[in-house]
Amino acid sequence: MKPVDDQMPILMQGVEFGDPQTQETMEAALRERLAEGRPLRVYCGYDPTSPDLHLGHTITMRKLRQFQDLGHDAIFLIGDFTGLVGDPSDRESARRQQTPEQVAEKAETYLQQAFKILDPDKTIVRRNSEWLSKLSFIDVIELASHFTVQQFLARENFSRRYDKGDPVWLHEFLYALMQGRDAAAMETDVQLGGTDQLFNLLVGRKLQEIFGQRPQICLTFPILVGTDGYLRMSKSTGNYIGIDEPAEEMYGKVMSLPDHAMLDYYTLVTRFTPDQIASINQGLGDGSLHPRDVKMQLAREIVSIFHGDEAASEAEHHFRTVFQERELPPEMPIYALEGPTNVVEVITASGLAKSKSEARRLIQQGGVRLNGEKVESIEAVVTVEKEAVLQVGKRKFTRLVAASAREGS
């Protein structure tokens, strides 16, 4: 195995706690355990809550892969039991509970997508129903006896709901106990998670101590912002980059990122080393690197991870042809088109005009172009196979994509 001083910068890359003391404690504990010279048991749990994954889900997978590459044992834990409840960590309301059949179906697609990052030959796959489904009611009472209601209500998302008079359901409290029990069941050295999950990870440490084990090291990571550059990446807000999306669409979405979000993506979801990222940051700071070139490198890297180098090159060629050679802005809003649609409807629905009458006037004045060609009639119908660019005036652009392609990705 590599020396500890070589492993630490890689494994701590992107780690964030928001509390200097917690970071210092966990970093020192990780260094100490690495010094033992043995493979560490590292895990992250994934509740199957939707059939596909986006880049935000891959942050911890990328870290698991780094542990794998350094010779450690990586456990991909499918939360087929916790998924029945749903993690409340990032929620302002309770999650809708799922059936076992729904969880099982989504779990299969998670594994297929996760192996685009993880080495399948080195990945240990577990399901927490192996132990959680066997707990008796007295077992649950015993776990709960080690925590107070005040500890749970101190969590920010619970306290806000409680203060507003919104429901905080008892089963949501049990989620942290179940996740903590996972750590004890697998006797893990390290658990990965988002910064919003730190409470759950610390519950795992406490339960491990109760079970006579060494408490695990918790490594948490910031939430990835979406393509808007500010809000959490989410399918519900439409600012996500799905890891199963076509290469050309994935490349275009990365190119639509605001410049200020690029380094977070480099740090959290790429294969670049800490030294390489520091060099990119320096180049952006002193002007020796152009933000456009840095973003294109980022887009190539992300597409390459999920589709391969050849697909990344083809996606870049497509982007240059469609956008740069036509002198179109690389950053433009995306509008999903539900089949053939009248151009007036598209202009108003995508926000390029405030009303249908304004849209008709713009067309009649020759101010609307589709893929560089002037739209001559207000009766024109827009059809998109993959993507197209709709331009209104000199400065308003929208990238049109086929809704069916997005749903199928």
Kindly report, residue by residue over 209-263, the tens digit of the pLDDT. Answer: 999 999 999 999 999 999 989 999 987 777 899 998 899 889 999 998 999 999 9
90-122 pLDDT, tens digit per residue, is 444 445 667 777 777 777 788 888 899 999 999
Whether 378 and 343 have beta carbons less than 8 Å apart is answered as: yes
The fold for domain 247-324 equals: Tyrosyl-Transfer RNA Synthetase (1.10.240)
363 to each of 137, 151, 356, 377, how far by Cα in Å? 68, 61, 11, 7
> Per CATH, which fold does 4-221 belong to?
Rossmann fold (3.40.50)
* Position with higher pLDDT, 127 vs 238: 127
Q: Read off the pLDDT of residues 42-64 as tens digits, 9 standing for 90 and up.
A: 999 998 877 778 999 999 999 99
State the pTM of this model: 0.75
User: What are 193's strand-pairing partners?
Assistant: 220
- Extract the runs of DSSP E, i.e. beta strands, from 226-384: 334-337, 341-342, 368-370, 373-374, 381-382
Give the chain's length. 409
Q: Quick one: pLDDT at residue 171?
A: 82
**Averaged confidence pLDDT in the chain:** 89
Domain boundaries, the chain: 4-221, 247-324, 334-408
| Segment 176-210, tens digit of pLDDT | 899 999 999 999 999 999 998 898 999 999 999 99
Please provide the CATH number assigned to the domain covering 334-408: 3.10.290.10
More confident residue, 328 or 182: 182
Q: What is the pLDDT of residue 90?
A: 47
Q: Which of 228, 362, 239, 254 is nearest to 306 (CA)?
A: 254
State whether the Cα torsion 240-241-243-245 is positive or negative. Answer: positive
